[in-house]
Structure formats: structure tokens, C-alpha cells
Amino acid sequence: MGEILAAYAVPHPPMIIPDIGHEGRAQIEKTVKAYEEVAMKVAALKPDTIIITSPHATMYSDYFHISPGTGAVGDMSSFRAPQVEFDEEYDAGLRDLICDMAKERDFPAGTLGEREPELDHGTMVPLWFIRNVYKGGKIIRIGLSGLPLTDHYRLGMMIAEAVGKLDRRVVFIASGDLSHKLKDYGPYGFAPEGPEYDAKIMDVFKRAAFGEMLEFSEEFLNKAAECGHRSFAIMAGTFDRKDVTSEVYSHEDVTGVGYGICEFVPLSGSDNAGRAFLERRIDELAAAYEKADEYVSLAHRTIEEYVINGRVIDVPEGISGELTSRRAGAFVSVHKDGMLRGCIGTILPTRKNLAEEIIQNAISAVSKDPRFDAVTPDEVKWLEIDVDVLTAPEKIASKDELDVKRYGVIVTSGYKRGLLLPDLEGVDDVDEQVSIAMRKGGISPGDNYSLERFEVIRHKLRG
């Protein structure tokens, strides 16, 4: 039986390598010493395989790329140090088992779509320290994705299961910097979410509170401009149902970017809070649907039947006259772990009643949104579904008659038309609202266009 012996959350600033950082390396002396300690710990464990998750490996919005082939080379030419070279062999057996498990479970991970076969600096920086003291062990390199944090955690669970099936002693390296917005003088400037993120994630590290790691919102992570959280979430999943001891080695923010180093060692014993989080979230969603209004309930029932059973439901008996006698355009929005998973709607009614409008648009949202693959049966229990019912659009003379919180907008130029719903997260002013609607409709800034506005009655799963 194989096992994951330990995991390490580490940063990847190229300047930490002497041939790149030179005297500037002294700025992050605590990080250097902590990294050297981690390397010695890895050498003492003598792993057969080192799994590295890197934000700078091949990344897709809806797929986890695992590097294919027998191995890879790389160097630091991009940082004016071509003499810093690597030649690594991949653990093809363990990698292929992970990929086979993903395929069997219809999980979006595998070796397809390699764009950068050479090793990336997110992989090479930790390897530079490790290879100075330990030459053994093959590697597996895994990229992150734009999928929800829970999917990253589930990938970690799958990795741990695969390791357990093979006779491998494994060390897991979660490569990732913390916030890039810690100082005004830093390369990305300052945002208040920057130091807040660093404080929160280092506290999570200290307590090995992996369930809390999954509760960070996408909006907060984006504002903090971190690049490692998804790496850490995969790592957390490898310790599912295990108690873990942790040790924080260092945290620095002197360059305006957060560098944190922490060790995690699993213990035999009871459940880890991360799995409890996944199960709790499923239970919370199920409870929310029990309390949902008939608009959301209809969309939810439609999606369950269509995705799981392949059946289009009839309009249910006993629903209100508002749904069976009224005609209106409607949008059905589907989110998974806070991220959009599909959204399709109609500006004007196309069916004989609102119930049929919702049924058809719910099916389209999970199967025909061109931005996403069709929703799979395994995903249904994670979905959060909202329904927006539109009032009839009215023509307006100018943007002065818009209000991003109250009105949605329709921009029309010839046969091109773009729509944006009101009160959307991150859309704060009318100019931005109109600009996004124009882009959605393929309308250029110099084109002549007309405006319409509409209001929505929003039926949300949660309040």
C-alpha cells in the first residue's frame, strides 16, 4: 500500500534561486532558509514520487492537465539563467492510474491538450531546492483549472486513492504564491484583500483547517490576486479523512507578494474537516431546495430529470396560475460552488406559458450554453439554480435612463443584440454594463446602436 508521507505548501519566486536573484535573494532570507529545511525533510523521507501542482503548468478553465510522456526538461532561460537546468522523469504508472480513475468517473482530468511540455517555473523552483539534496524519485506534474475549489479537492482525493493502490511513497508539493497585492510598491499594487488573504490562509495552514480552505469565495480570491489557492485545495483533498499535523516554517511579504511555507504530515485516525465540508454543502443545498419557491423548484426538478434520467418533464399539476397563465421571458442561471456553470434565457416569451419557458431554458442552461460542457449527473447535487423573470423591454433614449442595480440592458445594432441582466456581481456602473452587453452581442464600440431596458423578478435559491 502506498501513502502520501507529507505535503508542503511552498512559493515559487524565481529570485530565490542564486543565479537569478543574486544579492536580491537576501530580501527573502526567511523563505530561503525555510525552503532549505523543506528540502532536507523531503530528502529524509526518500519518496519514490514527488507530485507537484503548479499554477504555471498547462491550465484550462474546465480540465485538469496532467503532464504526459516519460519525462520533461526545463531551464530558467526566461529569467536569464539558462544554466539552471532540469531533466525529470515522470512516474507514468501512477499518473496513468490517476487518469484512468478520472476517466471512469467522468472527472475532467487527464493528459490531453499539452501546450507547454517544458517544465514551468512553478515546478522548477521547488525542484531546485529538492534536487540540491535529493536526486531520487520521479515526478508527476499537474496543472490547475478554472473549476470550483471543490473539484480541486476531489482531484486530491482521487490522487490519494491512486497512491494507495500502488506501492509508492509520495511527497506532495503544492506550489503557489499567496497574494500579489500586499504592498503599494509591489509589482501589482495594493488591495486590502491582499493582507487579509495572507492572514487567513496562513491561519488555515497553521490549524490544517482544510474545510475552511474551500470556503474562500472566488471574488475574494480574485481581489487578493493569489496564485496558489487551487494548488492548496488539491493538496487538502489528498488528506481527506485523515488527521494532519502542521508546521508553519515562514511567511514573508517584503516584495509585495506573499510567500508562505508550511509542512503537513498525516496521522492515522478520524475524519478531516474537509470531507465534512463537502458533505455539509450537499446537505445544505438539498435543504435549500426543500424551501425554494415554485420557480426555482421547477427549474431544479427539470434539471434533475433531464441530466440524470434524460427526460423532459411536463408542466407539473398543482402549480400556480402565475406560472401556467402568464407569458414572459425568463433566464435560468446555474452555479456550482459559486461559479457560473450555465445561463440561458429568453428576452421575450417563446412558449405558451412561463412554466414551459422555465423548463426549456433550464434544459438549455445545463446542455446548450456554448461556454460550458453539458452538466453531468455527478454535478447535479452541487448545483445552485436561480430563475429571473423579465418584464417586457422598453426603448430608452440614452444610458442616463439605466441603473445597473434595477435595470437590465439590451443593446441592438442591426441584427446583432447583446443582453445583460441587472445587479450582477462585479458590474458597478452603466458604462461597464453597456460595454459588456455590446461584447456579448458582437457589437463594436463605433457601431450605431439602440438601447432597451427591462426589470427582473429574481427567484434565488438562497434569499
Domain ranges within the chain, ordered by starting residue: 3-277, 292-390, 391-458
Q: What whole-number distance in Å separates Cα of residue 332 and Cα of residue 367?
A: 12
Amino acid 14: pLDDT: 96
* Selection from 413, 416, 424 nearest residue 450 by Cα: 413
For the domain 3-277, what is the CATH superfamily, name and number?
LigB-like (3.40.830.10)
Q: What whole-number distance in Å separates Cα of residue 422 and Cα of residue 445?
A: 21
* Neighbour tally for 138: CB within 10 Å: 20
What is the second-level CATH architecture of the domain 391-458? 2-Layer Sandwich (3.30)
Helix (H) or strand (E) holding 425: none
Asked whether the beta carbons of 281 and 215 are under 8 A apart, the reply is no
CA atoms in the 13 A half-sphere facing the CB of 434: 21
Could you give phi then psi for residue 369, rounded to 5 degrees? -70, 115
Q: What whole-number distance in Å separates Cα of residue 66 and Cα of residue 156?
A: 13
Amino acid 462: pLDDT: 82
Predicted TM-score of the model (pTM): 0.84
User: 3-277 and 292-390 share one CATH topology?
Assistant: no
Asked whether the beta carbons of 60 and 146 are under 8 A apart, the reply is yes
Amino acid 431: pLDDT: 93
Amino acid 1: pLDDT: 79
Residues paired with 410 in a beta bridge: 419, 452
* Selection from 148, 146, 173 nearest residue 159 by Cα: 173
Amino acid 33: pLDDT: 97
CATH for 292-390 is: 3.30.700.20
Q: Given the C-alpha cell 490549524, which residue does it identify?
A: 207
Give CA angle at 361 (108, 369), nearest 5°.
35
Q: What whole-number distance in Å separates Cα of residue 43 and Cα of residue 38?
A: 9
pLDDT in tens, 429-452: 999 999 999 999 999 988 999 999
Give me the tens of pLDDT residue by residue for the chain, a chain 463 residues long: 789 999 999 999 999 999 999 988 889 999 999 999 999 999 999 999 999 999 999 999 999 999 999 999 999 999 999 999 999 999 999 999 999 999 999 899 999 999 989 999 999 999 999 999 999 999 999 999 999 999 999 999 999 999 999 989 999 999 999 999 999 998 899 999 999 999 999 999 999 999 899 999 998 999 999 999 999 999 999 998 888 999 999 999 989 999 999 999 998 755 566 667 788 888 999 999 999 999 999 999 999 999 999 999 999 999 999 999 999 999 999 999 888 999 999 999 999 999 999 999 999 999 999 989 899 998 999 999 999 999 999 999 999 999 999 999 999 999 999 999 998 888 889 999 999 999 999 999 889 999 999 999 999 998 6
Amino acid 432: pLDDT: 93
Could you give phi then psi for residue 406, rounded to 5 degrees? -95, -40
Amino acid 269: pLDDT: 56
Q: What whole-number distance in Å separates Cα of residue 201 and Cα of residue 208?
A: 10
Q: Given the C-alpha cell 427549474, which residue does it identify?
A: 299
pLDDT in tens, 222-279: 999 999 999 999 999 999 888 899 999 999 998 999 999 999 999 875 556 666 778 8
Amino acid 275: pLDDT: 67
